[in-house]
């Protein structure tokens, strides 16, 4: 075949056109693929699992940034192993120390004294003196409540006690253990345990399933106290209206179940609902809204894996009759104590949830709208600290304690 110059030119153009079209198709296909981080989230590390969320923005929502200038200041150091904190009506702080006493600190962080008189605690592993709550009528009765791990002949368990702060504020008086979580197991892990009062003066208590397989399965048992959220009176009785109070095959103190290890409880300042932060296994840390009688799924459903990378159970994330987390994290950030911000001091933080993170080594700020997380920010990520508890004060500051013994204030600049 004889090639004329015009044919050569046309052939060359057609090849170029095909090549360009192929390139355009490849580019279009690439752009249509779901990007790994479409929302520009704060977390950019690869997922530990291949599980997909149940609904949009259940994980890795868009990152947000506080525009108000704020500052952080270390108020106290060398607090040993602090675990929980509460603020007295006069602004001073009570901070539990795992070995079995309570610090009394001035609002500026100055240590005033140690409060003793706590029953013996089993402080091995994750145990010890844990959560703390102030009676809503403290100014009249001076009553304080705390949770702790207690040893017995079968192992150990989570317990709740109450006592009256003495007039010299050096000890707890008339101490009574009002509630114990059975069965006892030989484990030093997953005791829970936060305490928070609702508006009626009843007490929510979180507990873990003790980590070991013997306890894990009991998170689904209504006859076991492991892996539960309880609601009790100030005397340790089942709170009126509890969902299983008339069920002879269930513990009447149970409010919700299917919990792995909840170390954060907070009441939403507008809705009055109970929110909970929960440790997942390898991936799958959760944020839940706890409602009466609901099953939160552990260990049947989870967004995490065993620590060795193996799948858990049937490796499912959803099942009828089991609640989905409002939000989850993968990889884990180890969410511990949490608190809602209700002050007007920093308006953009109003009704946001602050969460202390252990392995994540930062404080999370979650912007929430209609019970859905719409934005996430990390605070104090440059401190290289494990944040154990967070308290958003009515004075407009956010306070936090760390596993290294620091007491830190975050406030408007």
Catalytic: which of 47, 157, 190, 268? 190
C-alpha span between 356 and 167 (Å, rounded): 33
Are 399 and 408 a contacting pair, CB within 8 Å? yes
Say how far apart CA 175 and CA 102 lie, in whole Å: 14
Q: CB within 8 A of 158, min separation 6: which ones? A: 130, 147, 148, 149, 150, 180, 181, 191, 192, 193, 205, 207, 208, 225
Token digits of residue 283: 């991936």
Q: Is 268 a catalytic residue?
A: no
Query: Is the bond preceding 183 in cis, omega lying within 30 degrees of 0?
Result: yes
- DSSP code per residue over 280-332: -SBS-EEEEEE-TT-B--TTTB-S-B-TTSPPPTT-BS--TTSPPPSEEESS-
The rounded distance, in Å, linking the Cα atoms of 400 and 385 is 11
Catalytic residue numbers?
190
């Amino acid at each position: 075949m004889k090639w004329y110059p015009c044919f050569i030119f046309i052939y060359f153009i057609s090849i170029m056109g095909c090549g360009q079209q192929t390139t355009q198709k490849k580019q279009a296909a690439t752009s249509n693929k779901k990007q790994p981080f479409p929302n520009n989230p704060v977390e950019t590390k690869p997922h530990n699992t291949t599980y997909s969320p149940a609904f949009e923005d259940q994980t890795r929502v868009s990152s947000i940034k506080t525009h108000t200038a704020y500052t952080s200041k270390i108020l106290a150091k060398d607090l040993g192993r602090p675990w929980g904190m509460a603020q007295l009506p006069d602004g001073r702080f009570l901070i539990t120390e795992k070995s079995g006493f309570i610090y009394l600190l001035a609002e500026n962080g100055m240590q005033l004294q140690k409060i003793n008189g706590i029953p013996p605690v089993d402080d091995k592993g994750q145990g010890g003196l844990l959560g703390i709550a102030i009676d809503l009528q403290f100014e009249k009765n001076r009553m304080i409540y705390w949770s702790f791990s207690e040893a017995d002949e079968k192992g150990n368990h989570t317990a709740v006690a109450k006592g009256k702060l003495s007039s010299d504020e050096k000890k707890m008086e008339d101490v009574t253990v009002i509630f114990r979580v059975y069965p006892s197991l030989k484990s030093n892990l997953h005791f829970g345990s936060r305490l928070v009062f609702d508006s009626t003066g009843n007490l929510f208590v979180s507990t873990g399933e003790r980590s070991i397989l013997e306890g894990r399965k009991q998170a689904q048992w209504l006859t076991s106290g492991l892996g539960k959220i309880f609601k009790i009176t100030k005397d340790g009785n089942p709170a009126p209206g509890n969902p299983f109070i008339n069920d002879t095959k269930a513990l009447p103190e149970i409010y919700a179940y299917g919990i792995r290890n909840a170390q954060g409880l907070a009441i939403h300042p507008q809705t009055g609902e109970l929110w909970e932060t929960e440790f997942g296994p390898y991936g799958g840390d959760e944020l839940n809204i706890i409602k009466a009688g609901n099953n939160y799924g552990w260990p049947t459903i989870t967004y995490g894996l065993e620590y060795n990378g193996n799948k858990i159970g049937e490796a499912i994330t959803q099942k009828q009759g089991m609640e989905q987390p409002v939000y989850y994290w993968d990889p884990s950030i180890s969410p511990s104590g949490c608190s809602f911000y209700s002050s007007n001091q920093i308006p953009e933080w109003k009704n946001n949830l602050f969460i202390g993170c252990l392995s994540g080594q930062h404080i999370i700020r979650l912007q929430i709208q209609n019970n859905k997380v719409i934005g996430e920010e990390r605070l104090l990520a440059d401190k290289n600290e494990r944040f154990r508890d967070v308290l958003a004060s009515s004075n407009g500051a956010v306070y936090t304690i760390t596993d290294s013994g620091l007491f830190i204030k975050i406030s408007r600049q």
